[in-house]
């Protein structure tokens, strides 16, 4: 089983809490799943995602003109190829991070054609204060 974990933060070196929690979860899943489980963690520092321009090209032609300018084409490929997805976001102002929102906006077409239907997805919202439940609910609804 191939599990892709996307951590919607650009910080990697100073180990933000969202990355720490995701790394620990992946370690536990790999440990319990043995050789049958492969995990990969991607952050926005490796595959940044630009904001959606609202051009609706994804609906008309099935592709986004910005895919060649950022990491979204590679990220879409990884999401399609994985067997399960973990989406982890820090909570900013009681909501998903801007990187997460960019990803969701750029995946808007998938929500209409049910691209991820049947793909198991675990959402993580990480906060030291409030907004975690609301953020997790929003992310679950979108994915």
What is the reported pLDDT for 78? 93
Q: Sorting pLDDT into bands at 50, 70 and 90, what band is 22?
A: very high
Beta-carbon neighbour count of residue 84 at 10 Å?
Answer: 16
**For residue 113, with 0-12 CB atoms within 10 Å meaning exposed, 13-18 middle and 19 or more buried, which class applies?**
exposed
Cα distance between residue 49 and residue 140, in whole Å: 20
Query: Is the distance from CB of 3 to CB of 38 less than 8 angstroms?
Result: yes
Cα distance between residue 112 and residue 110, in whole Å: 5
Question: What's the predicted TM-score (pTM) here?
Answer: 0.88
Q: How far apart are the first and last CA of the chain?
A: 20
Lowest mean pLDDT among 60-69, 80-89, 98-107, 109-118: 109-118
Three-state secondary-structure class, residue 143: coil
Question: pLDDT at residue 109 above 70?
Answer: yes
State pLDDT tens for residues 33-78.
888 899 999 988 888 888 999 999 888 888 889 988 888 889 989 9
What is the reported pLDDT for 12? 66
Which residues on adjacent β-strands are paired with residue 125? 89
């Amino acid at each position: 089983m191939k599990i892709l974990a996307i951590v919607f933060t650009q910080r990697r070196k100073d180990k933000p809490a969202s990355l720490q929690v995701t790394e620990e979860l992946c370690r536990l899943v790999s440990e319990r799943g043995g050789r049958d489980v492969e995990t990969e963690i991607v952050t926005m520092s490796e595959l940044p995602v630009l904001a959606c321009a609202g051009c609706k090209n994804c609906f008309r032609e099935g592709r986004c003109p910005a895919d060649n300018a950022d990491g979204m084409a590679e990220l879409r490929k990884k999401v399609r190829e994985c067997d399960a997805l973990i989406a982890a976001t820090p909570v900013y102002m009681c909501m998903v991070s801007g990187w997460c929102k960019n990803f969701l906006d750029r995946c808007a077409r998938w929500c209409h054609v049910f691209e991820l239907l049947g793909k198991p997805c675990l959402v993580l919202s990480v906060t030291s204060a409030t907004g975690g439940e609301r953020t997790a609910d929003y992310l679950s609804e979108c994915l």
